[in-house]
């Protein structure tokens, strides 16, 4: 008899309270919350990280030609350029266009790439490698030639060693792609202040 749900007055009271004011109050609160959300989303508030290259204005045309490569490893320049184009398209708010149609140009060079053993097994065999890559980039306004930002960025990425050469090469290629992503994000973040 201690259970309140057996008492008809309590269950009736719960039902009446739910039917009367609580539903209207809940609807009012949800509408107010939705209204606040719409106002804030329409005022230009953005998540952190969406600022990069956005200050140049919507529709800014930027050229990102293929970077040069001074390292001894082929195709790193194409990988880095592709990541920059993807990031700019996803976060930048502008358009990637050919140099002839651009307001800005983001160009650069892959300076170095190398790998070193970073961890060893109990049998004194290499267990992990660390790949390191450095790139230089310049953001330039094409109409007047002004350099808006110039900097050097570097990144490191570990990958597992493997006695199977094909698996070893696959792991290194995956590390290279991750390095390109890290460098592209760093270039985007560092150059965002130029706007």
CATH code of the domain in which 130 resides: 3.30.160.150
- Mapping DSSP to helix (H, G, I), strand (E, B) and coil, where does residue 49 land? coil
Number of domains in the chain: 1
Parallel/antiparallel/unpaired status of strands 104-120 and 95-96: unpaired
DSSP for residue 66: P
The mean of the pLDDT values for the chain is 81
- Of 48, 85, 64, the closest CA to residue 137 belongs to 64
pLDDT-based confidence at residue 26 (cuts at 50, 70, 90): low
User: Considering the domain boundaries, does residue 148 fall inside one?
Assistant: yes
CA distance 182 to 155: 7
Reading the block at residue 63, the tokens are 């050229």
pLDDT at residue 88, rounded to an integer: 87
Q: Which domain holds residue 125?
A: 61-191
Q: Is residue 186 part of a domain?
A: yes
54 by DSSP, 3-state: which? coil
Instruction: Give pLDDT, residue 17.
Output: 46
Q: Is residue 144 part of a domain?
A: yes
Question: Is 84 part of a structural domain of the chain?
Answer: yes
pTM above 0.75, yes or no: no
d(CA 36, CA 60): 30
């Amino acid at each position: 008899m201690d259970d309140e749900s057996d008492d008809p007055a309590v269950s009736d009271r719960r039902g009446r309270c739910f039917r009367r004011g609580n539903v209207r109050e809940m609807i009012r609160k949800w509408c107010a919350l939705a209204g606040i959300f719409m106002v804030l989303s329409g005022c230009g508030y953005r998540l952190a990280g969406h600022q990069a290259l956005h200050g140049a204005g919507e529709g800014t045309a930027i050229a990102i030609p293929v970077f040069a490569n001074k390292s001894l490893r082929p195709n790193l320049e194409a990988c880095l350029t592709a990541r920059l184009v993807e990031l700019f398209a996803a976060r930048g708010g502008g358009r990637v266009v050919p140099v002839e149609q651009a307001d800005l140009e983001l160009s650069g060079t892959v300076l170095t790439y190398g790998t070193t053993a970073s961890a060893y097994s109990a049998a004194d065999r290499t267990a992990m490698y660390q790949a390191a890559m450095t790139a230089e980039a310049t953001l330039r306004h094409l109409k007047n030639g002004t350099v808006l930002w110039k900097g050097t960025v570097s990144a490191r990425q570990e990958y597992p060693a493997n006695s199977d050469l094909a698996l070893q090469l696959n792991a290194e290629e995956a590390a290279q792609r991750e390095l390109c992503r890290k460098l592209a994000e760093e270039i985007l973040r560092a150059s965002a202040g130029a706007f």
